[in-house]
Amino acid sequence: MVRIDPVADLRLAREFRANPIGKHSPDLQRLLRFFRGEPIEGKYALLCTKPNREWKLVELSGEVGKPFSVHEDRVFTSLKQAEWEVFKLRWKRYTGRDLFLDGGPVR
């Protein structure tokens, strides 16, 4: 199992924040595979509601025939910002901590 060090792995969070879409270092790829390979139930994902213009945060049910939950209050007009939000949520799930970079909360 991949372990996430909430201090040492901040460099990976910084790398992802700088470039959430595109080529990543091997260490960041390992972390993203872990995050993205989590069990379906409760998994955060993005739903594109307006092609290339709007995404909403969803949480998957993990049950066949049961719809996902849409977080109507979490709407994004940038795919990069949407991907960053999912990264932060997954970080908190696996470290038990909010993601803080450079001494303050990350937006």
**For residue range 43-87, what is the model confidence (pLDDT) as tens digits?**
999 999 999 999 999 999 999 999 999 999 999 999 999 999 999
From the CB of residue 40, how many other CB atoms can be counted at a distance below 10 Å?
A: 11
28 domain residue, yes or no: yes
1 domain residue, yes or no: no
pTM of the model: 0.89
Task: Report pLDDT for 31.
Answer: 95
Instruction: Give the residue numbers spanning the domain of 73.
Output: 10-99
How many structural domains comprise the chain? 1
44 domain residue, yes or no: yes
pLDDT digits (tens, 9 = 90+) for 3-48: 888 889 999 999 999 999 989 999 999 999 999 998 999 999 999 9
Task: Report pLDDT for 26.
Answer: 96
**Cβ-based neighbours of 90, under 8 Å, separated by 6 or more:** 35, 38, 44
Task: Report pLDDT for 105.
Answer: 53
**DSSP assignment string, 20-43:** SSS---HHHHHHHHHHHTS-STT-
Residue indicated by tokens 């080529």: 23
Task: Report pLDDT for 2.
Answer: 66
- pLDDT for residue 103 is more than 80: no
Which amino acid belongs to residue 94? Answer: Y
